[in-house]
Amino acid sequence: MDSLINPEDTWTLWAAIVAIATFALWAEKTHIGQKVSAAVIAILLALTLTNVGILPAESNIYTFIWTNAIPMTIPMLLFQANIARIFKESGRVLVAFLIGGIGTVVGALLAYASLPLDESAAGLVGAVTAAYIGGTLNFVATANSVGLDSAKIAAGIAAANLVVVLYLVVLFTLPSIRHFSSRFNRSPEPKANGQPNLKPEIEQFDTVMGISYTVLISSIICMLGFGLEAIIEFPGTAILAVTFLSVAAASAFPSFFRKLTISAYIGTAILHLFFAAIGASASIHEVVAFGPVLLALCAISLAVHFTFLSVGAKLTGITLDEMLIGSNACAAGAPTAAAMAASLRVPHLVLPAILCGTLGYAVGTFVGVLIAGIL
């Protein structure tokens, strides 16, 4: 489907994505916006603009945001990390992640048994399972391992991405639905409206130097993390390395990094570009062209995943925030899980979100290939 904005028209498309993110942040300050969050507004607005033919579903701009801009936000969100609290509370996010992973597997098996899938059913189910425990790279790796053809891979990726985008909208919206959220424990972390809290008693760098230090240090950390991944050649290594280097730096020089309070603002702004790019990349037209069965496969997998996780959270005392972030890390991966932790104003859960998402990258392909082999 052709779009009004050409995917090669870099500056017009960039301006559109920035405008969506900016509008979402502004709208969050309204009465309705506070209930749904800027993340949901950005995703839904971009999703709508793509599917009415204004924005393209694919562009190098989106790729740049995913592969370059988002890794830089990880250090920015971790410069103020409270290490003691992270290690104390990260375990519950991991439990949520593991329960969600089991739910994904059960959901995929249920979909396999109930849907009229063709002869490639085992491979598709395995690939979707890998995607909803790890990510798109795990989908591709599993699909290639089990011999799916390129058309099925393209259709499966489109369906998996569309369903997970809609699922993210649900996850971001649930905290504002009182009938649902009241059934779960809530994180004791105070959540102020607007941007991350700043403590006026802490000395800060002036704005220009604060921004410069933030961008410089984040760039160096990403350079080291992605350099390590290039040497090891294992997907997910870069994000994990960036995470640990960020925490190590913040722990080694706490007095310096406490002054970089501007970093949280920069990271939050970039995250909303990411949400806009996620929504813009979800083309309903592409998925419909391949029929509803793939959508049903993905939807059933995530529906059972969420059911398992909701029951598990209720039984184990996992808070709503931990449950949603663990689900996000499992179904969508480390970047969106970290973004959710920041959006929900629980910065102490950013690191657990990244670690669980990275674990998903590490095991997703193995689980996907195993499921395909069993089927």
Within a domain: residue 5? no
Q: Is residue 336 domain-resident?
A: yes
Cα 37 to Cα 327: distance, rounded to the nearest angstrom? 18
At residue 11, the pLDDT reads 94
Residue pair 283/52 in contact (Cβ under 8 Å)? The answer is no
Looking at residue 224, its pLDDT comes to 94
Q: Answer yes or no: is 168 within a domain.
A: yes
Joined tokens for residue 85:
């609290």
Q: What are the CB-based long-range contacts (under 8 Å, 24+) for 316-319?
A: 316/92, 316/95, 316/99, 317/185, 318/92, 318/95, 318/96, 318/184, 318/185, 319/92, 319/184, 319/185, 319/186, 319/187
Report whether 218 contacts 76 (CB < 8 A). Answer: yes
d(CA 167, CA 216): 35
For the stretch 321-355, pLDDT in tens is 999 999 999 988 887 888 888 878 888 888 888 88
Q: Kind and range of the H or E element at 156?
A: helix 150-173
Would you say residue 262 lies in a domain? yes
Confirm whether 191 is domain-assigned.
no
Interior/surface letters 122-148, b for 16+ CB within 10 angstroms, e for the rest: bbbbbbbbbbbbbbbbbbbbbbebbeb
Of residues 272, 352, 288, 301, the one with CA closest to residue 90: 352
CA atoms within 13 A on the CB side of 232: 14
Task: Output the pLDDT for position 99.
Answer: 93
8 Å CB contact between 103 and 304:
yes
* Structural domain contains residue 190: no
- The letter for the amino acid at 1 is M
Number of independent structural domains in the chain: 1
Q: Which domain holds residue 330?
A: 10-185+203-374
pLDDT of residue 199: 45
- Give the pLDDT score at 90: 64
3-state SS class at 302:
helix
The two three-digit tokens of residue 70, written as one number: 């988002």
Residue 355's H or E segment, with its range, is: helix 350-374
C-alpha pair distances (Å), 72 with each of 273, 274, 359: 13, 12, 20
Q: What is the structure's pLDDT at 192? A: 44
The answer to the question of residue 53 being in a domain is yes
pTM above 0.85, yes or no: no
User: 269, 323, 249: which is closest to 94 by C-alpha?
Assistant: 323
What share of the chain in percent tops pLDDT 70? 89
Is residue 316 included in any domain, yes or no? yes
Which residues in the chain land under pLDDT 50? Answer: 190-201
**pLDDT of res. 363:** 83
